Structure 1
Amino acid sequence: MSDFDDTPTLRRFRADDAPWLVERHATLYARDEGFDDSFGPLVAGILSDFVAHHDPERERGWIAEHKGHRLGSIFCVAGGADAAKLRLFLLVPEARGKGLGKQLLGACMGFARKAGYSEMVLWTHESHRAACALYKASGWQLIDSKPVHSFGVDLVEQSWKIRL
């Protein structure tokens, strides 16, 4: 990690991380993608549900941080009996391009394997080119792509899948 004098750490998500995560998603997606103010509440709902109902044996969230500063997140949640769903994968701009996304993705996929899932799925947008390149390089397959109008903008929604 070239801009860090020591390696960022991954730790488990805590409920007190939720406000930061909602704010970062809402702010960065509005700035970078033009998303409207419906996106923050969607993230808040996902996190609220996770905090209230997640199964710690089969579902987990991680926060990447460096010297007490949060840099990103990723979550593994149940998507069915045998499928895990990757959610809320985010890196703040200053942490991108340094291998931290690969580290987060590896932790999430490793956990899903150990939890007994046979596959993982995710939903994203074509405009997230760096993340999509990382998924492809990690063995994920694009299984669906379609134009949609979501969060106040026209997007190309994508679904990806990997066998674990």
Structure 2
Amino acid sequence: MSTESTITIRYNLNPGDLGQVAALHGKIYAEEHGFGMGFEAYVMESLLEFYRQYNTNRDRVWVVESDGKMVGFLLLMHRLDEQAQLRYFILEKAYRGMGLGKKLMKEWMNFYNEKGYKGAYLYTTSGLDPAVSLYERFGFKKISQVKSRNFGVPLLEMLYRLYPS
């Protein structure tokens, strides 16, 4: 990885982005957590759901690039009852620990507040402690967890919610 000055954040989707997001998730989660191909397929299916209801006034993407290559991603997806869902928060290992995740979360929260959402939620899994810590610092609270083998390994799937302050 080169200097931070080469990192850019783009707020629109370009052709090829959805496939890259799925590939990034498939590669990173297989390497770091042992997830099977089913996880990448799940991401692909749910990205299609996002794209089909994508509303540039209510939804936002954060495409993190370094020298034109996608190295991270995050999105805010509108849901029913003025709720927002945080999804696909990912950074390649070389880009972690430099404050980029915190910057993305701040921007996510700013957009969430600017659009007047009444609450938000996200799903995550055990083993993602730095991400969970970040979510909690921004006010998300764990609501429930369930044991699962959905992605080929035993894990806990956790639901976090953000309530209006």
- Counterpart Cα distance in 2 of 1:35 and 1:5: 30
Corresponding position of 1:134? 134
Corresponding position of 1:6? 5
Corresponding position of 1:55? 55
SS in 1 for 2:16: helix
Determine whether 1:75 maps to 2:75.
Answer: yes
The Cα offsets for residues 26-63 of structure 1, whole Å up to 9 and x where unpaired, read as 11111111111111111111222222321111111110
Shift of 1:67: 2.4
- Counterpart Cα distance in 1 of 2:40 and 2:140: 27
Shift of 1:4: 2.1
TM-score by length of 1: 0.91
Q: Is the 1:72–1:92 contact (alpha carbons within 8 Å) kept by the matching residues of 2?
A: yes
Shift of 1:132: 0.4
Point out where structure 1 has 5 or more consecutive residues left out of the alignment.
Answer: none
CA RMSD of aligned residues (A): 1.8
Corresponding position of 1:100? 100
Q: Is the 1:64–1:104 contact (alpha carbons within 8 Å) kept by the matching residues of 2?
A: no
- Counterpart Cα distance in 1 of 2:123 and 2:78: 14
Q: Is the 1:10–1:104 contact (alpha carbons within 8 Å) kept by the matching residues of 2?
A: no
- Counterpart Cα distance in 1 of 2:11 and 2:103: 14
Shift of 1:8: 2.3
The runs of at least 4 consecutive aligned structure 1 residues that moved more than 3 Å come to none
Identity percentage of aligned residues: 29
Corresponding position of 1:23? 23
Aligned residue pairs: how many?
163
- Counterpart Cα distance in 2 of 1:105 and 1:53: 22
Point out where structure 2 has 5 or more consecutive residues left out of the alignment.
Answer: none
- Counterpart Cα distance in 2 of 1:39 and 1:155: 13
Shift of 1:117: 0.4
Shift of 1:3: 6.0
SS in 2 for 1:38: helix
- Counterpart Cα distance in 2 of 1:47 and 1:35: 18
TM-score by length of 2: 0.90
SS in 2 for 1:116: coil
SS in 1 for 2:72: strand
Evaluate the alpha carbon distance shift between residue 13 and residue 38 of structure 1 in structure 2; reply closer, same or farther with a 3 A threshold.
farther
Q: Is the 2:6–2:67 contact (alpha carbons within 8 Å) kept by the matching residues of 1?
A: no
